[in-house]
Each structure stands twice: as C-alpha cells, then as structure tokens.
Amino acid sequence: MAILITGGAGFIGSHTCVALLEADYDIVVVDNFSNSEPEALRRVMEITGKSFKVYAFDLLNEKDLETVFIENHIEAVIHFAGLKAVGESVAIPLSYYQNNITSTVILCEVMKKFNVKNLVFSSSATVYGIPEQNPISEDANLWAMNPYGRTKLMIEEILRDLYQSDQSWSIALLRYFNPIGAHESGMIGENPQGTPNNIMPYVTQVAIGKLRELKVFGNNYPTIDGTGVRDYIHVVDLAHGHLMALEKICGQTGIEAYNLGTGKGYSVLELISTFEKISGVKIPYRIVERRPGDSAVSFADPSKAERELGWAAKKGLAEMCADSWRWQSKNPKGYEELKGMKALL
Ligand code: WQD
C-alpha cells in the first residue's frame, strides 16, 4: 500500500515525503516540476536512505494519472500540487482555476474510479481572508481576497460536496498558516523561483547578499510595533501534521478542516530581530507602504488539530530562523546549480 503525494517536490511536499518515509510509509510522487526541482526528491532519498517512484506529469493528464493507480496500490492521497503565488494569481487567474481546481476534480475522479477515498488536501489560512478576530478557529468566516485564495476555498467546497454525495470518503482540509524553516540537514528547503513573495526566503536572500534590503510592508498596523503579525510554523512541524492527518483519515470517514499553526503571532520586526540574533547577519530594511490585501494580524487557534489529530507544533521561531538560514547558506542558489542537469532519480 502506498501514499500518493502530488506536488511532492515542493517545499512542504518534500518535507512531508521525508516525514512519511521516516514513518515507514511507502510513497509515490507525482510532480510536473513547473515550480520545483527533481533534485529536491533526490535529496529526500539521500536524507531518508529510501527510494520511491516519481512520475513527472501534470495532474491535468487524466490518463497518466490513471497509470499511477494501475501501477501502484494507492491507499491515500496527499494533494499539494497547485499554483500558490498570490500576486501571480491576480495576473493570470484562469491558469490558477485551471491548474488548481480542474486538476483537483480530475484527481478525485480518478481516485473514485480506483475506489481510493482517503484524501489530505493542502489548504491555506488564506481562506480566512482578513480575519475578524484572532486567534482564528476553523469555524471562522471564510472568504478569499484573491484568485489563489478563492481556488483553495472553492476546492474545500468541492470536497464538501463530494463527501455529501458519497460519505465513504475521508477528507482532511489542512489550513497552513505561514510555513518557514527547513529540514535540519539543510539539504531541502524553500526554493522560490525569481524574487520571493514570502518574507522568510526574502530575508535569507538579503542575508546571503543576493538581495539588497527587505521592504517592510507598513508599520502603521494596530500591532506591537506597527508591522504585520503572522503565525510562523516550522515546515517540519507542518509535515508531521500531514502524517497525523493521514493516520486520522485512514481510520474513519468524514470531512474536517484543521488549522496547522503554532497559535502564536510574531511581527515582521520580531522576525527580523530573531533572524539577526540567530544568524549573526544584519538585515537592512526599509519601511514602505502596506501591501494591498495584507491583514494586520493572523494567527491560529490550533486546538482542534491538537484534540483530534494529536498534533501540536513543537519548534519555536529561533529554530525556524536557524533552519531557514542553514538551508539558504548551504544552497545560495537553491537547487538551481543542478537545473541544467537531469538529476538522478
Ligand atoms: C508575511 C508578513 C507581510 C514580504 C502568504 C500567502 C498565504 C500563504 C503564506 C500559501 C506580512 C510581510 C512580506 C516582504 C514584508 N501561502 N512582508 N515584506 O502574506 O502572510 O501569506 O504566504 O498558502 O496564502 O498569502 O506571507 O510571507 O508574504 O508575509 O514586510 O517582502 O511579512 O506584510 O505581514 P502572508 P508573507
């Protein structure tokens, strides 16, 4: 029996592959490598000392996807594959709807055809829009402010409708807050293409001198120091959350959403000062205008995941900064140096 991981070469996907392999699961990865590198999976194999099948195709190719289910005995699916850049989604919304929603519908159709009805879906705290109150619980109002967030929200609704039509499905909707950090080996980590949108890869690229300074998007929010507050969660804690959700869904039916966050918020300036202390590197920054669509404060009430999945984040902000820094300083160009080569899989 194997677990199919779509988008397994991505930041959270690759860390989840490590967690599942170390828990002695067999895995199969499908990735179209549009926003990830095969090298990440080679390194997952190196870290764990385990091998696994990798299929390189887009989930929109239904026939290819059926082949995976014919060639492997799939027990459950963890579905990461999708486009995830907020700004980009505003520029090319149709690509986001096509890639994120259509591919999920195709995945569910194929799962149904092969009678595989255990699904962990990679959702996001972005479905809470600008939260009305913090900490945010799973029954908070849901609304999305950009096409990317709308795809996550729509997919959650599609999966709820699917469950209503056939209650033999077992589905976990995992709403991530702000994933940062990297595996302690420094071999896998966040590898954004082009200029990073998210703060931590931007900070680490400033720290290695690739970018000149960090722009801090506003310091006039109603927060401890005026800068935005977020619930940063270590990607390894997040990966462990997927393992716990997988174990939960494989033993029952139903559909449930879970916040995967620490329940603690830190401001941008707190993040910067923690990173500087840990890395010993000064991060030059400049306060600029707020970024449209940003909320002032967003952090999780993670008690439902604790109660129902037996999961809680363990790693603190200092460890997140240390692990992000180790990854970036050991891989100043991410996986890029191997881009030209067909990494051995
Ligand atoms: C964090 C804080 C910014 C960059 C996004 C997506 C969300 C999820 C996680 C996928 C905010 C500030 C940032 C910079 C800054 N992704 N910031 N300068 O926006 O909370 O969430 O990533 O699921 O869907 O929306 O993360 O890292 O962009 O911002 O000052 O160059 O850092 O204003 O307060 P965000 P972020």
The whole-angstrom separation of Cα 41 and Cα 20 is 13
Q: What is residue 342's predicted lDDT score, i.e. its pLDDT? A: 47
Tell which atom from ligand 1 comes closest to the C-alpha of 126: 24
Contact 78, 2 (CB under 8 A): no
Nearest by Cα to 136 from 258, 268, 277, 275: 258
Q: What is the spatial distance between Cα 98 and Cα 87, in angstroms, rounded to a whole number?
A: 17
Residues in contact with ligand 1 (CB, 6 Å cut-off)? 84, 86, 124, 126, 176, 178, 197-199, 202, 214-217, 228, 230, 268, 291, 294
The predicted-structure confidence for 288-336, as pLDDT tens digits, reads as follows 999 999 999 999 999 999 999 999 999 999 999 999 999 999 999 999 7
197: containing domain = 2-344
The CATH number of whichever domain residue 251 belongs to comes to 3.40.50.720
Mean pLDDT, all residues of the chain: 96
Contact call for residues 195 and 249 (beta carbons, < 8 A): no
Among 217, 274, 288, which is best to mutate for testing ligand 1, by the most ligand atoms less than 8 A from CB?
A: 217
Q: Specify the number of domains making up the chain.
A: 1
- 8 Å CB contact between 16 and 79: no
* Reported confidence tier of residue 337, pLDDT bands at 50, 70, 90: low
Sign of CA dihedral 55, 61, 65, 66: negative
Phi, psi of 75 (to 5 degrees): -100, -35
- What is the phi-psi region of residue 149: left when phi exceeds 0, alpha when psi lies from -120 to 50, beta otherwise? alpha
Query: What is the whole-number distance in angstroms between the Cα of residue 191 and the centre of ligand 1?
Result: 15
- The pLDDT assigned to 297 comes to 98
Q: pLDDT, tens digit, for every residue of 166-201? A: 999 999 999 999 999 999 999 999 999 999 999 999
DSSP bridge partners of 215? 286
Q: How far apart are CA 63 and CA 221, in angstroms?
A: 50
